[in-house]
Amino acid sequence: MLSNFKDLSDKTLMPIAKTVGKLGFRPNQLTLLGLILMAGSGYMIAYDNILEGIILLMFGGFCDMMDGLLARSMGIESKMGGFLDAFTDRYADTFVIGGMLLLNDLENQNLYGVSGHAWAIGALTGALLTSYARAAAERSGVSQQGVGMIERPERLVLIMIFLSIGEFTGIMEVAKAAVYVLAILTILGHLTVLQRLVHFLQNSEKNEE
Protein backbone atom coordinates (compact mmCIF):
# COMPACT_ATOMS: atom_id res chain seq x y z
CA MET A 1 0.00 0.00 0.00
CA LEU A 2 2.60 2.54 1.07
CA SER A 3 4.60 1.65 -2.04
CA ASN A 4 1.88 3.42 -4.05
CA PHE A 5 3.22 6.66 -2.56
CA LYS A 6 6.83 5.76 -3.29
CA ASP A 7 7.50 8.66 -5.66
CA LEU A 8 6.18 11.18 -3.13
CA SER A 9 8.07 9.63 -0.22
CA ASP A 10 11.29 9.40 -2.23
CA LYS A 11 11.05 13.07 -3.17
CA THR A 12 10.39 14.02 0.45
CA LEU A 13 13.17 11.89 1.92
CA MET A 14 15.85 12.47 -0.72
CA PRO A 15 17.28 15.57 1.05
CA ILE A 16 17.67 13.49 4.21
CA ALA A 17 19.43 10.75 2.24
CA LYS A 18 21.85 13.30 0.78
CA THR A 19 22.58 14.60 4.27
CA VAL A 20 23.26 11.04 5.46
CA GLY A 21 25.66 10.65 2.53
CA LYS A 22 27.50 13.82 3.51
CA LEU A 23 28.06 12.28 6.94
CA GLY A 24 30.14 9.60 5.24
CA PHE A 25 27.70 6.70 5.13
CA ARG A 26 27.57 4.34 2.14
CA PRO A 27 24.39 2.50 1.08
CA ASN A 28 25.64 -0.98 1.98
CA GLN A 29 26.75 0.28 5.37
CA LEU A 30 23.21 1.50 6.05
CA THR A 31 21.82 -1.85 4.91
CA LEU A 32 24.03 -3.77 7.33
CA LEU A 33 23.44 -1.26 10.13
CA GLY A 34 19.70 -1.68 9.63
CA LEU A 35 20.06 -5.45 9.92
CA ILE A 36 22.01 -5.10 13.18
CA LEU A 37 19.37 -2.74 14.58
CA MET A 38 16.56 -5.12 13.59
CA ALA A 39 18.39 -8.01 15.25
CA GLY A 40 18.75 -5.89 18.37
CA SER A 41 15.07 -5.03 18.22
CA GLY A 42 14.08 -8.68 18.05
CA TYR A 43 16.36 -9.46 20.99
CA MET A 44 14.90 -6.66 23.10
CA ILE A 45 11.32 -7.64 22.28
CA ALA A 46 12.03 -11.28 23.13
CA TYR A 47 13.19 -10.24 26.60
CA ASP A 48 10.25 -7.87 27.16
CA ASN A 49 12.30 -4.69 26.74
CA ILE A 50 9.56 -3.30 24.52
CA LEU A 51 10.50 0.40 24.53
CA GLU A 52 14.07 -0.40 23.51
CA GLY A 53 12.76 -2.82 20.88
CA ILE A 54 10.48 -0.18 19.38
CA ILE A 55 13.26 2.42 19.27
CA LEU A 56 15.66 0.02 17.54
CA LEU A 57 12.88 -0.98 15.14
CA MET A 58 12.31 2.67 14.23
CA PHE A 59 15.99 3.29 13.53
CA GLY A 60 16.29 0.01 11.64
CA GLY A 61 13.33 1.00 9.49
CA PHE A 62 14.95 4.39 8.88
CA CYS A 63 18.12 2.69 7.59
CA ASP A 64 15.98 0.46 5.39
CA MET A 65 14.34 3.53 3.83
CA MET A 66 17.60 5.39 3.38
CA ASP A 67 19.91 2.82 1.79
CA GLY A 68 18.23 2.73 -1.61
CA LEU A 69 17.68 6.48 -1.66
CA LEU A 70 21.31 7.08 -0.75
CA ALA A 71 22.46 4.79 -3.57
CA ARG A 72 20.31 6.71 -6.07
CA SER A 73 21.47 10.10 -4.79
CA MET A 74 25.10 9.01 -5.19
CA GLY A 75 24.51 7.34 -8.56
CA ILE A 76 25.88 4.01 -7.35
CA GLU A 77 22.88 1.69 -7.58
CA SER A 78 24.00 -1.88 -8.22
CA LYS A 79 22.65 -5.40 -8.48
CA MET A 80 24.80 -6.36 -5.52
CA GLY A 81 23.28 -3.60 -3.40
CA GLY A 82 19.76 -4.60 -4.40
CA PHE A 83 20.47 -8.24 -3.59
CA LEU A 84 22.03 -7.35 -0.23
CA ASP A 85 19.04 -5.18 0.65
CA ALA A 86 16.50 -7.88 -0.22
CA PHE A 87 18.57 -10.58 1.49
CA THR A 88 19.01 -8.68 4.76
CA ASP A 89 15.34 -7.65 4.79
CA ARG A 90 14.32 -11.30 5.08
CA TYR A 91 16.68 -11.80 8.01
CA ALA A 92 15.37 -8.60 9.61
CA ASP A 93 11.76 -9.80 9.32
CA THR A 94 12.78 -13.10 10.90
CA PHE A 95 14.57 -11.39 13.79
CA VAL A 96 11.67 -9.07 14.64
CA ILE A 97 8.83 -11.58 14.31
CA GLY A 98 11.03 -14.22 15.96
CA GLY A 99 11.48 -11.85 18.89
CA MET A 100 7.72 -11.55 19.19
CA LEU A 101 7.43 -15.34 19.06
CA LEU A 102 9.66 -15.51 22.15
CA LEU A 103 7.70 -12.88 24.07
CA ASN A 104 6.88 -13.83 27.61
CA ASP A 105 3.32 -15.21 27.87
CA LEU A 106 2.71 -15.29 24.10
CA GLU A 107 2.33 -19.06 24.30
CA ASN A 108 -0.65 -18.56 26.62
CA GLN A 109 -2.41 -16.16 24.25
CA ASN A 110 -5.12 -17.49 21.96
CA LEU A 111 -7.11 -15.71 19.28
CA TYR A 112 -10.00 -17.49 17.55
CA GLY A 113 -8.69 -20.77 18.96
CA VAL A 114 -5.23 -20.30 17.44
CA SER A 115 -2.20 -19.99 19.73
CA GLY A 116 0.08 -16.97 19.76
CA HIS A 117 2.97 -19.09 18.54
CA ALA A 118 0.93 -20.32 15.57
CA TRP A 119 0.01 -16.73 14.65
CA ALA A 120 3.71 -15.79 14.84
CA ILE A 121 4.67 -18.61 12.48
CA GLY A 122 1.85 -17.58 10.15
CA ALA A 123 3.02 -13.96 10.19
CA LEU A 124 6.61 -14.95 9.42
CA THR A 125 5.70 -17.27 6.55
CA GLY A 126 3.38 -14.60 5.16
CA ALA A 127 6.19 -12.02 5.27
CA LEU A 128 8.69 -14.33 3.57
CA LEU A 129 6.27 -15.58 0.92
CA THR A 130 5.10 -12.04 0.12
CA SER A 131 8.67 -11.15 -0.81
CA TYR A 132 9.26 -14.44 -2.62
CA ALA A 133 6.09 -14.03 -4.70
CA ARG A 134 7.30 -10.64 -5.89
CA ALA A 135 10.81 -11.85 -6.67
CA ALA A 136 9.58 -14.93 -8.53
CA ALA A 137 7.08 -12.94 -10.59
CA GLU A 138 9.52 -10.19 -11.49
CA ARG A 139 12.11 -12.75 -12.62
CA SER A 140 9.48 -13.75 -15.18
CA GLY A 141 8.96 -10.14 -16.25
CA VAL A 142 5.74 -9.39 -14.34
CA SER A 143 6.00 -6.35 -12.08
CA GLN A 144 4.47 -6.63 -8.61
CA GLN A 145 5.02 -2.99 -7.65
CA GLY A 146 2.13 -1.86 -5.45
CA VAL A 147 0.33 -5.22 -5.69
CA GLY A 148 -1.08 -6.55 -2.44
CA MET A 149 -2.55 -5.39 0.83
CA ILE A 150 0.65 -5.31 2.88
CA GLU A 151 4.38 -4.99 2.34
CA ARG A 152 7.35 -4.51 4.63
CA PRO A 153 6.77 -0.84 5.58
CA GLU A 154 3.20 -1.59 6.66
CA ARG A 155 4.36 -4.59 8.69
CA LEU A 156 6.87 -2.52 10.62
CA VAL A 157 4.38 0.28 11.26
CA LEU A 158 1.72 -2.13 12.51
CA ILE A 159 4.19 -3.89 14.81
CA MET A 160 5.31 -0.58 16.31
CA ILE A 161 1.72 0.61 16.79
CA PHE A 162 0.49 -2.53 18.52
CA LEU A 163 3.56 -2.96 20.72
CA SER A 164 3.21 0.69 21.74
CA ILE A 165 -0.45 0.11 22.63
CA GLY A 166 0.51 -2.84 24.80
CA GLU A 167 3.45 -1.10 26.44
CA PHE A 168 2.12 2.41 27.04
CA THR A 169 -1.69 2.59 27.06
CA GLY A 170 -2.79 -0.08 29.53
CA ILE A 171 -5.57 -1.10 27.13
CA MET A 172 -4.09 -4.59 26.88
CA GLU A 173 -0.95 -6.48 27.84
CA VAL A 174 1.98 -6.56 25.44
CA ALA A 175 1.51 -10.27 24.70
CA LYS A 176 -2.16 -9.70 23.84
CA ALA A 177 -1.28 -6.76 21.59
CA ALA A 178 1.38 -8.92 19.96
CA VAL A 179 -1.02 -11.74 19.16
CA TYR A 180 -3.47 -9.27 17.60
CA VAL A 181 -0.86 -7.77 15.29
CA LEU A 182 0.56 -11.21 14.45
CA ALA A 183 -2.93 -12.34 13.45
CA ILE A 184 -3.37 -9.24 11.27
CA LEU A 185 0.02 -9.81 9.65
CA THR A 186 -0.81 -13.47 9.03
CA ILE A 187 -4.12 -12.74 7.33
CA LEU A 188 -2.96 -9.75 5.29
CA GLY A 189 0.35 -11.39 4.41
CA HIS A 190 -1.21 -14.50 2.92
CA LEU A 191 -3.91 -12.47 1.18
CA THR A 192 -1.11 -10.46 -0.41
CA VAL A 193 0.56 -13.66 -1.60
CA LEU A 194 -2.75 -14.71 -3.16
CA GLN A 195 -3.20 -11.29 -4.80
CA ARG A 196 0.29 -11.49 -6.28
CA LEU A 197 -0.35 -14.99 -7.58
CA VAL A 198 -3.56 -13.85 -9.30
CA HIS A 199 -1.81 -10.75 -10.68
CA PHE A 200 1.01 -12.90 -12.04
CA LEU A 201 -1.33 -15.38 -13.71
CA GLN A 202 -3.35 -12.61 -15.34
CA ASN A 203 -0.34 -10.69 -16.61
CA SER A 204 1.87 -13.62 -17.58
CA GLU A 205 -0.86 -14.71 -19.99
CA LYS A 206 -0.89 -11.22 -21.51
CA ASN A 207 2.89 -11.31 -21.95
CA GLU A 208 2.64 -14.60 -23.82
CA GLU A 209 -0.01 -13.33 -26.25
pLDDT confidence of 31, banded at 50, 70, 90?
very high
Q: How far apart are CA 195 and CA 172, in angstroms?
A: 32
Say which residues have a Cβ less than 8 Å from residue 9's Cβ, sequence separation at least 6: 2, 65
Residue 23: give its domain's CATH number.
Answer: 1.20.120.1760
Which pLDDT tens digit goes with each residue over 82-105? 888 888 999 999 999 999 999 988
What pLDDT was estimated at residue 159?
97
What pLDDT was estimated at residue 97?
96
- Active-site amino acid positions: 89
The least confident of 1-10, 112-121, 134-143 is 1-10
**Domain range holding 135?**
2-208
Considering its fold, how many domains does the chain have in total? 1
